Structure 1
Amino acid sequence: MKTLIHTLAAAALLFAATAHAQDLQPLDRIAAVVDEDVILASELDRAVSNIRGQYATRQDQLPPQEILERQVLERLISMRLQTANASRTGVRVSDQDVDQAVAAIAQQNGFTMDQLRQQLAGDGMSFDDFRTSLREELMIQRMRQRFAQTRISVSDAEVDAALSAQATGTQYRLAHILVALPEGATPEQIQTGQQKVDGIKSLLDRNEMEFSAAAVRYSDSPNALEGGDLGWRSPQEIPAAFANAVTSLEPGQVIGPIRGPSGFQLLQLVDRREAADGAAAGTVTQYQARHILIRGQPGDDSAAKAKADSLRARIAGGADFAEVAREDSEDASTKANGGDLGWFTQDEFGPDFGGQVAALGDGDVSQPFRTQAGWHIVQRQATRQTAGDDSNRRAQAREAIGQRKLEDEWDRYVRELRGEAYVSIRIGANRDPEIGG
């Protein structure tokens, strides 16, 4: 529990953007100018200190101070650009949205709100900074969702190919190192990138550095400070250039460098496992639930949120969920049936809705939460494992392929934001050291 909340708090502190130009203190310095905004040296110092706290028992894996500052500063710049772009494109996160996110984090970790505050304080973070960082993360999540809806498509042929190659439920934990290349890279830039990635590979081959430490020090990927960790993935979620090779690797082995859309990559198989959710046996988890929907008005859903809060209070006070749904739900397709949604898989109604349902226990009622449809209250009734039919398997494969494409396209999009922005770094180093071959 503590490790999870510490990691979350660390990420929040790293991404916090609470200090802006109007908040400048006399003794504070500017670390970087990002378009019309600034990142203060105090923000950078807090973020670097937090990273050092995460690596308290592994200080030898961290790069020298100047390189670490550059890595952290680049991430702060990236976050500032993404949140600014989200604001420009109309993405909004209300105070109620942040309240729900904070409450969910406390609940997931078994904390009361006071205990959460104490834990954050122990990790060196103020509660206001934590809320600000959560707001920014929610903004970016919503911008990614919009991006996925407008930019990402998966063809039936891609789904067919993925299903034909899906022989087992094996999952692979991966890590990577990226040596990025700009769009339209010149021959000289490509040669420099090739030399850098070859030098990194040589260090790994000679066992002079752990893969995670090399990622922290040299990778241009947004997850460099996490040692390049990509988490557990099914075969469909692995980049096509690596997918076939990964299945034949032993844990610890590295493949690459391979040139991709973002630059040169090295990939390590950290571990493998059989999927714990029954995927190998062809089963899927289904949920039975009912819901109440209150639709908001474009640009102002405060009245809808207030109504949803009122209905949730009635249910908490003993009102029958189905009766409240029949009386007040604005979902015409389920209203007459007391909000009954039947049996469905987690992703069937979208990731926001499915995530809320999956986080509940059977019989629990959610707090009001928002999706693109409006404000929902959900009561989860039951859970079951069922044989995955063809439509479920196709939906899961489509989702996995879409997520893989989204990662690639989003990374490219963020790099475009960085390339088009005015960024002036005023402190620390901005160059990698030479890597020996």
Structure 2
Amino acid sequence: MKTLLASLLAACLLAGNAFAQTVQPIDRIVAVVNDDVVLQSELDRAIQNIQNQYAKQPNAQLPPADVLRKQVLERLVMVRLQVMQASQQGIRVSDQDVDAAIAGVANQNHLSVDQLRANLGTEGLDYASFRDSIRDEIAIQRLRQRYAQTSISVSDAEVDAAMATQANSAQYHLAHLLVALPENPTPEQIDVAQKKIEGVKGLIDRGEMDFATAAARYSDSQNALEGGDLGWRSADEIPTAFANMISGMKAGQVIGPIRGASGFQLVQLVETRSAADAPAGAAQMVTQYQARHILVRVDDKTSDADAKARIDTLRARIAGGADFATVARENSDDLSTKPNGGDLGWFNADAFGPDFGAQVSGLQDGQVSQPFKTQAGWHIVQREGSRQVDATDENRRAQVRESIGQRKLEESWSRYLQQLRGEAYVDIHPADDGAASPNGG
């Protein structure tokens, strides 16, 4: 999976408004998207940038100019729609957020921010528009994250099942080609899409076009210009419609057309590897702590000053020789640990928040902290021990949960974007003149 910074960088390389060169005196509207517009200059810059990127890949083939224009314009339309949706949901991106993301992009490229800005200027690229593009991508990322949090869930049983089969299972490098259908398509739309994808499959089967070139030319997927590449996937990361079929395929083989939620698809198995051959990570050691704590809550019955005075008194009693566990049993407001003398057991430093973790990690075994405050109230903590543990299995379980969640998210997010596009007013202007031609409603 891509990191946020990696996806930001990739999006900026493709975003139409990221690279401004010279403002034209007259800038034609090429699409109306609800209450916003896409300008010819934005489309030209986006197309030029993609052509520049492909020029660095000698074997890559771009689709014909008219197809490329359609694909890039559709990407710009979808960016507009997602940014609008993010704004409607109250998602805001501050200047500080943008600054931090740009610093991350610069760091990934081993540059300072000033060097990155200078490099953009040397290539004739406008820094202000680059910032706008970063801002849009952060908003889209947050929209997707919010959607995932509210719409996607993964049960422990799903994780258990995936881990049980994954140890000896294969991993697959996949690519796909999508001929999209609108929501609730008419029989005529289904027939046209089916004939199109069958024609594309015929070109591939006859050897007249390789899969990546066909995807770049004919696919309606957002990754069409990357040849439809989906990267390496384990079985739990593959949509269920394809998982069983892919397990019996040979490298280079193409299956489909298959009708899915988004339309008709072709899937190519690029190559296969066993899970044992996948890049292995080193053991992931973490520090865990054992500690007791006493909490005095701040609430409508106890002011902050009163809570502070009370915790100071309890700290003084312990400093005078009182047993920490006894004081906790008699006085702590944490009802879950109070019966056990405030015992928290073994935990990772970040288990109870950064403030609590910083206090515990700064103590020696047996030492009692000074009073400190968190969102829960005022605390004192006694560290009882520390240990190094291998969290590889725990982290692996988290990775599997995330993989399943990502697979579910891809399927659901694709339908969400399709619905977003279908409900929007999108008016595409033809390439040859300025007349309007409605393309959505």
Which deviations, in whole Å up to 9, do the C-alpha atoms of 1:221-266 show, x marking residues without a partner?
Answer: 1111211111222221111122233233333221222111111111
Give, in angstroms, the shift of residue 331 of structure 1.
Answer: 4.3
1:144 aligns to what?
144
Give, in angstroms, the shift of residue 122 of structure 1.
Answer: 4.9
2:359 aligns to what?
336
Q: Give the 3 Å change call, closer, same or farther, for CA 286–407 of structure 1 in structure 2.
A: farther
2:40 aligns to what?
41
Q: Is the 8 A contact 1:52 1:59 kept in 2?
A: no
Q: Give the 3 Å change call, closer, same or farther, for CA 91–161 of structure 1 in structure 2.
A: same
1:405 to 2:408 alignment: yes
Partners of 1:408 and 1:127 lie apart in 2 by: 35
2:153 aligns to what?
153
Partners of 1:284 and 1:170 lie apart in 2 by: 22
Q: Is the 8 A contact 2:8 2:138 kept in 1?
A: no
Which deviations, in whole Å up to 9, do the C-alpha atoms of 1:189-231 show, x marking residues without a partner?
Answer: 2222211111111111111112111111111111112111112
Partners of 1:85 and 1:277 lie apart in 2 by: 39
Give, in angstroms, the shift of residue 74 of structure 1.
Answer: 0.3
1:224 aligns to what?
224
Give, in angstroms, the shift of residue 59 of structure 1.
Answer: 8.2
Q: Which amino acid aligns with 2:206?
A: R
Partners of 2:284 and 2:245 lie apart in 1 by: 30
Q: Which amino acid aligns with 1:403?
A: Q
Q: Give the 3 Å change call, closer, same or farther, for CA 287–411 of structure 1 in structure 2.
A: farther
Partners of 1:191 and 1:399 lie apart in 2 by: 37
Q: Give the 3 Å change call, closer, same or farther, for CA 51–102 of structure 1 in structure 2.
A: same
Aligned pairs, how many? Answer: 340
2:272 aligns to what?
272
Q: TM-score, normalised by structure 1?
A: 0.70
Partners of 2:49 and 2:90 lie apart in 1 by: 31
1:375 aligns to what?
none
1:97 to 2:97 alignment: yes
Q: Which amino acid aligns with 1:88?
A: Q
- Give me the CA root mean square deviation: 3.4
Q: Give the 3 Å change call, closer, same or farther, for CA 28–59 of structure 1 in structure 2.
A: farther
Partners of 1:284 and 1:16 lie apart in 2 by: 42
Q: Give the 3 Å change call, closer, same or farther, for CA 119–254 of structure 1 in structure 2.
A: farther
Q: Give the 3 Å change call, closer, same or farther, for CA 115–52 of structure 1 in structure 2.
A: same
Partners of 2:256 and 2:207 lie apart in 1 by: 16
Partners of 2:114 and 2:410 lie apart in 1 by: 36
Q: TM-score, normalised by structure 2?
A: 0.69
Matches within 5 A, 1:297-376: 331=354, 333-338=356-361
Q: Structure 2: where are the runs of 5+ without partners? A: 290-348, 364-387
2:427 aligns to what?
424
What SS does the corresponding residue of 1:396 show, helix, strand or coil? helix
State the percentage of identical aligned residues: 56
Partners of 1:55 and 1:98 lie apart in 2 by: 28
Higher gyration radius (CA): 2
Q: Give the 3 Å change call, closer, same or farther, for CA 14–388 of structure 1 in structure 2.
A: closer
What SS does the corresponding residue of 2:63 show, helix, strand or coil? coil
1:181 to 2:181 alignment: yes
Q: Is the 8 A contact 1:256 1:267 kept in 2?
A: yes
Q: Give the 3 Å change call, closer, same or farther, for CA 198–385 of structure 1 in structure 2.
A: farther
Give, in angstroms, the shift of residue 159 of structure 1.
Answer: 2.6
